[in-house]
Structure 1
Amino acid sequence: MDIRPLSIAGAFEVTPRQFHDDRGTFMEGFRIDHLAAAIGHEFHVRQSNVSVSRAGALRGIHHAAVPPSQAKYVTAASGVFIDFVVDLRVGSPTFGQWDSVRLDSVDRRAVYLAEGLGHALACLEDGTAVYLCSEVFNPAAERGINPLDPTVGLALPEGFVPIVSDKDAAAPTLEAAAERGDLPTLEACLALDAALAERSR
């Protein structure tokens, strides 16, 4: 598999090598050793989520308090999605910026995003996304940014009419979240990353 860093530090695009024959297709969807070589520590899966979405669904921008936060490895089982990774780490040189990857059942790419990064998923065609998570869901630690915040400015495809949950629509803007101290700091995220690397030795 090919693992390419995105423009947001701590986020990677993973493109598997696919093997086709008369029976269909086989691939390695996740390899702990290959991913560890890229991110500097092992990614241990503690929870798996399955998200079934209709075209137009826009989920996010979600993140979790640091520590422990929640790293994610996201791929599409069916359908087409645009996966957005948003840098929410106060003090980061790319704070407030984002990068994106198209997830579908053709290239079968995945996105890895480290703890402290924000995540949003835009569904272009009815489909199912699978999330592998480094920590179990903790409602008390969950945070969000409004995915339509113009300051973040996610570039949704032309003609895309977003369907947003009431919870996500009521989420604060990036500026408001920063003012009330709801965002992680780059320092805390780097300390967590160092601790995970030490644990993996």
Structure 2
Amino acid sequence: MKIVNTQLEGCFEIEPKVFGDERGYFYESYNEKSFKALSGIHTEFVQDNQSKSRKGVFRGLHFQAPPFAQAKLVRVISGEVLDVAVDIRAGSPTYGQYHAVLLSAENKKQFFVPRGFAHGFLVLSEEAEFLYKCDDYYHPAAEGGIRYDDPALGIDWKLDTADLLLSPKDRVLPFLSEFESPFIYEK
């Protein structure tokens, strides 16, 4: 696998080494030893989640607040999504900035989103199945988020945002300017 760093400290893309022939393909989607050696991150994933969504479904921009914060390793096994992480660590030099990556069954890329980032994705294909590993368990009381359509973020979602399908709670999340981050940037 190959690690590709982003402009956001701690966020990186993973490009797997895929072996393919006329029978199909094979690749190692996760290897703890390789992940730690290449990324320098020592985390233990404790929960795997999977969702299936249709075109135009947006899920995010979510996070789990401390002490139940989660790092995530995300990928797509069918379809295509635009996956986004937003730095919400107070005091970070990249606070409010985002990184977007196209994840698909075809490119087999993965994206690591560390604690201190809001995360979300938009389904671009007719359907998509999305998988993610988390390094802490889900705690409903620690759930938080920010608005996907915040002009201060300026995210190009690649689809008309008027047509997106969101949950009622995602429609009323605060804008970044109304938000007090529970995360502090540590150098």
Normalised to the residue count of structure 2, the TM-score between the two structures is 0.93
Residue 115 of structure 1 and its aligned partner are, at CA, apart by 0.8
Residue of structure 2 in register with 1:123 after alignment: 123
Quote how far apart the aligned CAs of 1:183 are.
3.3
**Worse-superposed segment, 33-42 or 8-17:** 33-42
Q: From 173, 176, 182, give the equivalent of 2:175.
A: 173
3-state SS, counterpart of residue 17 of structure 1:
coil
**What SS does the corresponding residue of 2:8 show, helix, strand or coil?**
coil
Secondary structure of 2:60's partner? strand
C-alpha separation in 1, matches of 2:101 and 2:132: 15
Per the alignment, do residues 121 and 139 of structure 1 end up closer, same or farther by CA in structure 2, a change over 3 Å counting?
same
* Structure 1 residue identity aligned to 2:178: A
Identity %: 34
Mean CA deviation greater in 51-60 or 155-164: 155-164
How many residue pairs get matched?
185
- Give how far 1:30 is off: 1.2
Contact 1:33-1:42 at 8 Å conserved across structures: no
Alignment-mate amino acid for residue 184 of structure 2: T
Q: Which is helix-richer, 1 or 2? A: 1
Task: Return the letter of the residue paired with 1:134.
Answer: D
| Alignment correspondent of 1:137 | 138
Equivalent residues of 1:76, 1:130 under 8 A apart:
yes
Amino acid at match of 1:175: S
Distance 1:22 1:158 in 2: 35
Residue type at the aligned position of 1:59:
R
Q: CA–CA distance in 1 between the matches of 2:16 and 2:99?
A: 20
Give the gaps of 5 or more residues in structure 2: none
Within the alignment, does 1:186 sit opposite 2:166 as a pair? no
Indicate the SS of the match to 2:89.
coil
Two-structure CA RMSD over aligned residues (Å): 1.4
- Counterpart mapping for 1:72-91 below 5 A: 72-91=72-91
State the 1:158 CA deviation. 4.6
Q: What is the CA deviation profile of residues 100-143 of structure 1, one whole-angstrom value per residue up to 9, with x for unaligned ones?
A: 11100111000001111110101001110001110110111111
Output the amino acid matched with 2:176.
L
Q: Secondary structure at the match of 1:167?
A: helix
Query: CA–CA distance in 1 between the matches of 2:38 and 2:10?
Result: 9
| Matched position secondary structure for 1:36 | helix
Q: Distance in 2 between matches of 1:22 and 1:91?
A: 51
Q: Over residues 17-61 of structure 1, what are the superposed CA-to-partner deviations in whole Å (9 max), with x where a residue is unaligned?
A: 111123211001112122213442322111110011110011111
Mapped to 1, the partners of 2:67 and 2:34 lie a distance apart of 25
8 Å contact from structure 1 (residues 10, 39) kept in 2: no
* Structure 1: gaps of 5 or more residues: 191-201
Query: Quick check: 1:59–1:120 contact (8 Å CA) kept in 2?
Result: yes
TM-score by length of 1: 0.87
- 2:77 partner SS: strand
Residue aligning to 2:106 = 106
Match of residue 163, structure 1, among 141, 162, 165: 165
CA-CA distance at 1:89 after TM superposition:
0.5
Pick which of 65-74 and 6-15 moved more.
65-74
